[in-house]
Amino acid sequence: MSRVQAPTNTTNGRAPVGRAGWHRRAGLVPVAYLAGIVAVSTVHPFLAQGRWLLLHMLLLGAVTNAIVVWSAHFAAAVLRNPPPPTRRGEALRLAVLNVGILAVLAGGTADRPWWGVVGAAAAFAAIGAHLYVLTSRLRRALPARFAVTVHYYLAAAVALLAGIPAGAWMLLLDEQQRPRLLLFHAHVNLLGWVTLTVLGTLLTLWPTVLRTRMDPAAGRAAANALPVSAAGLVCLAVGALAWWPVLAVAGLALFAAAVLRVAAPAVATAGQRPPASFATWSIAAGVGWLLVALAWDAITLLRAPDAAAAADGFGGILAPLGVGFTAQVLVGALSYLLPMALGGGPTAVRERAARLDTHWPQRVTMANLALAVYLLPVGPYVHITTSLLILVALVQFLVPALRVLLSRTR
């Protein structure tokens, strides 16, 4: 069985002191942003930038924090780096990141663009430091079988470092100047930062969550897919910024081919042991929505007469890409990772996992059917109802997740 766990620095068989405590505290951060999304959802129709705020609480708040914490975790695991003597560096990077995120959220909501610019600079510094740490770990490590995972993380961080300044610049531009920059910002962040991280992580996480052996072709597929996805992302970014839609769609096609290349051995792995938990079905459904969003995105770009129309059309793609893919993969991964990272022995891990799996068939089915209906040309009341059902599914994850994170292992 292929399992990726945190590297150990054992003394008489004991795990390094503080690992569970670190993941307990760090795990609360993305969960807090997800809880904030539930709270803001009740009042967002009354906020001028309500939809923008919800989107950035998910992607910049919950997802970015989870990526920074867990990419460091997986990088150390696959490279077999010794655990750090202290978590102060990681804690400082997270603190700077979240000061920046809160400033961006406040600036965008309260129409204080310079707050957002200062916040973006802080987030840029934190991600730059994260990139430096990952690069240093890779350089110091001995050759590792799954080092390609870290290469995905490096490419993802570079994409975000390109996307953050574009987002900050958008805060200072009027509406007529924004469409091309918005398309660039959205694609490099969602496909670069988020999707590349997911593709790199699933190489080892997917068979681990399924509790089966990795497909022999998975490592080679991930290595082959990385340059293809990076080339596709570059073509897509240039095509969006210059408004060359054919080049942008060609980039999307390359990126989709890379996703399918990684997905093929993942499907073969699932054939050995079919998904049977909230984590596995949530991740699988998320990747399915990613493919839907990529196809929808390509059609939108080809049909749009100009960049402004394409930017407007991208708003419809945010539901399958943001909720269907990103949010589902996030909560699915956390449902598996949090019980494992908090330690306490097999019994405690099983108890936590069982809490997070409660009513999982209903939760997965309800969330995905609600999203599918939401995307249909239906009336406003159906949109409201399906949105509420998706929020209920999120609350059904948040309640046990908070109980797991706030409870102490005896």
Q: How far apart are CA 314 and CA 179, in angstroms?
A: 10
Which one, of 200, 119, 106, lies nearest residue 159 by Cα?
200
At 12 the pLDDT is: 36
77 within a domain of the structure (yes/no): yes
Mean pLDDT computed over every residue of the chain: 91
Q: Once rounded to an integer, what is the mean pLDDT over residues 148-164?
A: 96
6 within a domain of the structure (yes/no): no
At 15 the pLDDT is: 39
Alpha-carbon 408 to chain mean position: 27
Q: How far apart are CA 50 and CA 37, in angstroms?
A: 10
Q: In the predicted model, is pLDDT for residue 171 greater than 90? A: no
Q: Once rounded to an integer, what is the mean pLDDT over residues 334-350?
A: 90
At 407 the pLDDT is: 82
Q: Percent of the chain, pLDDT > 90?
A: 80
Ramachandran sector of residue 322 (left: φ over 0; alpha: ψ -120 to 50; beta: rest): alpha
3 within a domain of the structure (yes/no): no
7 within a domain of the structure (yes/no): no
Q: Once rounded to an integer, what is the mean pLDDT over residues 116-130?
A: 96
Q: Once rounded to an integer, what is the mean pLDDT over residues 323-352?
A: 92
Q: Percent of the chain, pLDDT > 70?
A: 95
- The number of domains in the chain is 1
At 176 the pLDDT is: 73
9 within a domain of the structure (yes/no): no
The tokens of 211 are what?
């509790």
Residue 408 — pLDDT band, cuts 50, 70, 90?
A: low
For residue range 68-84, list pLDDT tens digits in order.
Answer: 999 999 999 999 888 77
Q: In the predicted model, is pLDDT for residue 16 greater than 60? A: no
Residue 50 — pLDDT band, cuts 50, 70, 90?
A: confident
Q: How far apart are CA 210 and CA 265, in angstroms?
A: 13
Residue 4 — pLDDT band, cuts 50, 70, 90?
A: very low
Q: Which long-range contacts (CB under 8 A, 24 or more apart) does 230-236 make?
A: 230/155, 230/196, 232/256, 232/257, 232/258, 233/159, 233/187, 233/188, 233/191, 233/192, 233/196, 236/187, 236/191
At 217 the pLDDT is: 94
95 within a domain of the structure (yes/no): yes
The tokens of 369 are what?
């059917």
Q: Are 303 and 174 in contact (CB under 8 A)?
A: no
Strands (E), 137-288: none
218 within a domain of the structure (yes/no): yes
At 48 the pLDDT is: 80
At 294 the pLDDT is: 97
Q: In the predicted model, is pLDDT for residue 7 greater than 80? A: no
Q: Report the run of H or E that residue 268 belongs to, with start and end.
A: helix 245-272
Q: In the predicted model, is pLDDT for residue 44 greater than 90? A: no
Q: In the predicted model, is pLDDT for residue 108 greater than 80? A: yes
Q: In the predicted model, is pLDDT for residue 11 greater than 80? A: no
Q: How far apart are CA 52 and CA 106, in angstroms?
A: 11
At 120 the pLDDT is: 96
Domain encompassing residue 369: 20-406
14 within a domain of the structure (yes/no): no
For residue range 190-232, list pLDDT tens digits in order.
Answer: 999 999 999 999 999 999 999 999 999 999 999 999 999 999 9
Q: In the predicted model, is pLDDT for residue 188 greater than 60? A: yes
At 264 the pLDDT is: 95
| CATH label of the domain that carries residue 387 | 1.20.210.10
Q: How far apart are CA 371 and CA 366, in angstroms?
A: 8
At 111 the pLDDT is: 85
